[in-house]
Every structure is written in C-alpha cells, then in structure tokens.
Amino acid sequence: MSYLEIERIDARHGLLQAVREVSFGVEKGEIVAFVGANGAGKTTLFRTIAGAHPATAGRIRLDGADVTALPDHVRVRQGLALVPEGRRLFSRMTVYENLILAREAGRSGRWDLDAVLDTFPNLKNRLKSKAGNLSGGEQQATAIGRALMTNPDVLLLDEVSLGLSPAAVARVYDSLQALIEAGTTILVVEQDLNRTLSIANRIICMLEGQIVVQGAVAEMTREQIMDAYFGLHRTNRENNA
Ligand code: ATP
C-alpha cells in the first residue's frame, strides 16, 4: 500500500459529480502534479483529500490509517495540509497571527516560525502587517508558511502561482526546494507545464472528474499531457501505433 492511498473517490457539488472514482497512490517523498483544464476536478479532489469537501464514496488512507471520515482539522494533525486555491488567509489578522494559529492547529516538528521565516525571508518585516494588505507573492508565502507551521507529511498545493509576478513565482518555487529536500510528499496543481515538469516525479492528468492519463514525468511526452488536457488522450497502444 502507498503512503497516501486514494481509492475510488467520488465528490459532488449538488447534482454535479466533480470527481469520479479517482484512485491513485503516492509514495513518501514523491512529488505528484495534477494537470487538467478548468473544471476538471483538481480543486475538488484536493479539498476532498484534505477533508474540506466530503467524499460521497471511496477511501483515503494516510500511512495505513483510514482518514476518510475525519474532519479537516483532525487530518491536519495527522499530517495532511492544504494550501488552497486563492490562499484564504485571515485577511484582518496579521501575518504573525495567521502563522501562530496554524502552529496551534498542527503538530510540532522542524517547521516553526524561524524555519518559515528562513524559507520566506520576505515575510520577516511583514509579520505585523494585516494579511489582506500584503502583495500577492507575500500572501502566497504566508499561505504556504501557514501550512508548513502544521508540520505536514503531505502538502497539497493548489495553484500557488496564480496571479503572481514571474519573480514571485520563482521565489515560491525556490522555497519548495527546502520541502523537497526535507522529504515532504507534495501534491501540486500548477497551470505552468514547464514548472510542473521541472519539479514533479509523476503527472496525473484529469478530465471531467476522472484520471485519464498518468505516468512518471520521465516517461511522458509533452504531447501526451497536452492531449489529455484537451480531451484527446490516447492509450499507449494508440500512441505507439
Ligand atoms: P479550476 O482550475 O478552475 O479550479 P478544477 O480542475 O480545480 O478547475 P474544480 O474547481 O474542482 O475543477 O471544479 C470541478 C467541477 O465542479 C466544475 O464543473 C465546477 O464548475 C464545479 N464546481 C466547483 N466548485 C463548485 C461549487 N462550489 N459549486 C458548484 N459547482 C462547483
């Protein structure tokens, strides 16, 4: 069994089935990127894994333990942390308060305030600023820092570079190197395919709530990924024909 095991997960928004029988496993320390057009179900899947959205069927296991029925704050204590699309900081609270609140919600470990500020030095003189007054890059750093303060084993990053300047995106991705070196398991949704290919070990392509193609980055072509993105996926046999 894999470290994170997702087994036939369904998730709905009312009548709409946004995630359909999605199954995959992630090994400890692996970096898996999810690719797919808007509406493919990536955000719903991430929220379901983190416990922020209910699964209507299926099982989620972390390190052998079934977490499917656990609420999100309990999953955080088990080592699952989500950096949600759109950051969702407490905008009227300071950066310091956002980070400290997360520390209390999570577990102790190598990520404390000093470690987060070493990773995101641009937050050092923003600690007393209200999160709502920060630049996009500073907000994203705070959102990732907040997740790190919970000392996750598995970090889910949903579109962390959305709306950031190229320089801020580069800073965010540089900071992820520290996590990768620490052996954190990372699931990431990223629209920029070049960035995705540069950090991920494995790619999972989603279309209309389902996984259509997946494989090791080294074994997938850009064409296969783009075909899956646009719904033109072919089987390996068809590709080799
Ligand atoms: P994006 O890149 O736009 O975030 P995504 O791949 O993350 O796309 P989801 O946001 O999970 O996809 O959306 C999957 C489906 O669920 C889409 O059809 C979307 O319209 C629908 N959906 C998402 N959130 C809601 C909601 N709160 N209420 C109703 N339908 C929703």
Give residue-wise pLDDT tens across range 100-152: 988 888 788 888 999 889 888 889 999 999 998 998 888 988 999 999 999 99
Helix and strand numbers, DSSP H then E, in the chain: 9, 10
Question: In what helix (H) or strand (E) does residue 103 lie, and over which residues does it extend?
Answer: helix 95-105
Assigned CATH for 4-240: 3.40.50.300
Closest by Cα among 1, 6, 2, 3 to 211: 6
Q: 16, 53, 158, 193: which to mutate for ligand 1, most atoms within 8 A of CB?
A: 16
Sign (positive or negative) of CA dihedral 183, 21, 44, 164: positive
Q: Which atom of ligand 1 is nearest to the CA of 43?
A: 7
The predicted structure's pLDDT at residue 21: 97
Closest by Cα among 187, 233, 186 to 206: 233
Share of the chain above pLDDT 70, in %: 96
CA angle in degrees (0–180, nearest 5) for 216-49-90: 115
Return the SS3 of 171.
helix
Q: Which residues of the chain have pLDDT under 70?
A: 233-241
Number of other residues whose CB lies within 10 A of the CB of residue 198: 12
The predicted structure's pLDDT at residue 234: 54
The predicted structure's pLDDT at residue 166: 83
Q: Which atom of ligand 1 is nearest to the CA of 40?
A: 6
